[in-house]
Structure 1
């Protein structure tokens, strides 16, 4: 379904300023006619799955072909906020109502485990990606979100299966305002988080896989996939067709372009992000020690990281996006901005944080990106029912940084033949029941209250 393929001329994000000749890498001039494993997508999901598939056996990497529709890692991974922020409390009650105490603990413990897992990977492979551990500070500025944060926080503390409860702290009144540096904040919640340069992380991992023998092909979109009579898959591209034994869809927002079953199950959602710098490069910015989630209303949220070079990355501007379905829903065009979103980031820090009030800053990059929202807000990971050796790791709902890595590790181990269930939350696994369900909660989850303070 070509309408779900990436557009050719996506905007340049701040992260993509690190692009090099490798971004258009092609390991071979021609595509192979046959290969054991094809991974479609070179972002966070595809790169980490390839990395774990190639661990321990050089032959594994040489049997992998990775296809990318545009330049390497040019999709959502290179357009996000660089924020490694697990969700540890705010959606606790709604998830508990669906998945029970053990199920919600599975999800939240899994996300928290990514802090250690990403740190371990970065240190093991000596990856220069500006990785920093910090505290996340969630600021709630709307009465409904304040009430929800408090209710969910105290409910979360009663779950005996959660491993991280003592890492989460809630503060009120003046303490909340001083800790957050936000004057209007009646409550804030803090917990461990991290940040990094996502593009640099993925490029390092892909170079590692290529060195071990993986065939990486940029600017090679997959137009169609057909299942052959012998159970293998025919992958069609403009540069030729390839037959493969195993197929891995690491396609996130673009999954419906190669697997039509996901047209209303993983939906492309257009989002906006920015990079903010000092107007005077000779002056140091008032660096904030926390990363942030700022909630103006239920779905109206911004997120930001304070980078170690003094700049700030801010994403959100949702008041210009989510009230207008035709602007963001099933939209794969990351070559343009959404009206009003660029101006949203003007004087952003001065308006939000009192330590920035007398400091001049400006956005030097504002860009769009395409997120893969799933119908039930959780990713789809595993072997597709009825399609042996066709796997998926996609649908991360704008929340992939604390979910992808360990999903990729578990999927790779499963593909390599590890016995037992995949080591991911049960609710993430692709099942016949999830695939036949017709309820889509995406638009309902993006409603912005009319009285939200914007």
Structure 2
């Protein structure tokens, strides 16, 4: 998911503004999102028996867990991925499927493309470009300043006035917008097929996946460095990788003051005629949307309508925010038909105080690792971060590209910040 910076902390407004997400628990009934429904829901059945031991146990089979397990397996590590629900059932299957690479070394689009090609993963990874509309004069000036800083003629982004945005899109845009940021390098992808493809590739390279298996804790073991306690048995392991988003706070207590929730709301419309040839957003992701091949428009955001309630870790639909989502497209594009939502869902992003993820060793806990805190911007850095972490686990040396993501930078702050 894409997200603005949001306040963190428990929600005091949860009871007044949110209702339960429709649909039964994972594993039964209709999958909760458009992406999960359009991918094979039974790709990874729970194993009949858990292995007694693995070199490394990766907790979580979302994008970060699948990417890390893939690289660990390629490096020859005996790796087991343990997932409480199904692969991609959490945040990785609840986003818009946008890949907007930045300048960080881990955000390597060529690496993503290479892995997809080598492993034969058909996840609909396409370069479409991306247009962000500025809703204020301040954001418009920031867009212009960013474009002006980049060298011509091959600028990574371009600032377009409103008329140029309308020409690019082929539609009128409401006059409350000032212009836009055109990013030709924006890609789209089917996020669940990406996760399932990486998980299947990891299995081909020797990994194992235990879905429907919840980790209850990490204890001491006589046969390995750790004993991973699950609701289906115990697993010995020399390394444990926490790739489970906010759930890492319960399994690794030092992360409790580092990872905070930010809930994102999304809907999928009834199919529409071709309208949007590329994904769009408002500002830096306060609203975001794209149209997929069957005509469905996937639309998310509007957190600002109820920010206190959305600082929540519950996968619940917020009616107040969905009212805003329902009204957004007709309000933004004059003459746009009323929107009929076929699906509605929520997903939980794990965020950090400084906006950078935590990837690396947990200090003072040899063999315990974390890859989390991507705050809704996980697709571009997933394969680069997963590879760098896997190499660190195997070699004990941290690549330079992970230095700014080191967990101890925030753990030190958490220990010294007064409560």
TM-score normalised to structure 1 length: 0.78
Q: Counterpart of 2:155 in 1: which secondary structure?
A: helix
* Residue-by-residue CA offset, 1:29-64 (whole Å, 9 max, x unaligned): 22233221100000000101111112264xx3xx21
Q: Counterpart of 1:201 in 2: which secondary structure?
A: helix
- The answer to whether residue 419 in structure 2 is matched with residue 428 in structure 1 is no
**Equivalent residue, structure 2, for 1:22:** 42
**Equivalent residue, structure 2, for 1:179:** 168
CA drift of 1:293 comes to 1.7
Name the CA distance, whole Å, in 1 between partners of 2:363 and 2:330. 51
Name the CA distance, whole Å, in 2 between partners of 1:124 and 1:440. 46
1:226 to 214, 219, 223: 219
CA drift of 1:241 comes to 2.0
* Residue-by-residue CA offset, 1:116-172 (whole Å, 9 max, x unaligned): 222222222222222211111111112332233334444x437xxxx9972211122
1:236 to 223, 229, 245: 229
* Residue-by-residue CA offset, 1:65-98 (whole Å, 9 max, x unaligned): 11111122211000111011135xxxxxxxxxxx
Name the CA distance, whole Å, in 2 between partners of 1:14 and 1:21. 12
Indicate if the aligned counterparts of 2:326 and 2:341 stay in contact, CA closer than 8 A.
yes
**Equivalent residue, structure 2, for 1:389:** 367
- The answer to whether residue 180 in structure 2 is matched with residue 188 in structure 1 is yes
What number of residue pairs does the alignment pair up? Answer: 388
Indicate if the aligned counterparts of 2:329 and 2:336 stay in contact, CA closer than 8 A.
no
Query: Segments of 4+ in structure 1 off by > 6 A?
Result: none
**Equivalent residue, structure 2, for 1:398:** 376
CA drift of 1:270 comes to 1.5
2:320 to 340, 358, 373: 340
Indicate if the aligned counterparts of 2:136 and 2:178 stay in contact, CA closer than 8 A.
no
Q: Counterpart of 1:52 in 2: which secondary structure?
A: helix
CA drift of 1:21 comes to 5.5
- After superposition, the CA RMSD in angstroms is 2.9
1:121 to 109, 112, 115: 115
**Equivalent residue, structure 1, for 2:332:** 352
Q: Counterpart of 1:273 in 2: which secondary structure?
A: strand
CA drift of 1:19 comes to 4.7
Query: What 5-or-longer segments of structure 2 have no aligned partner?
Result: 1-9, 11-20
**Equivalent residue, structure 2, for 1:320:** 305
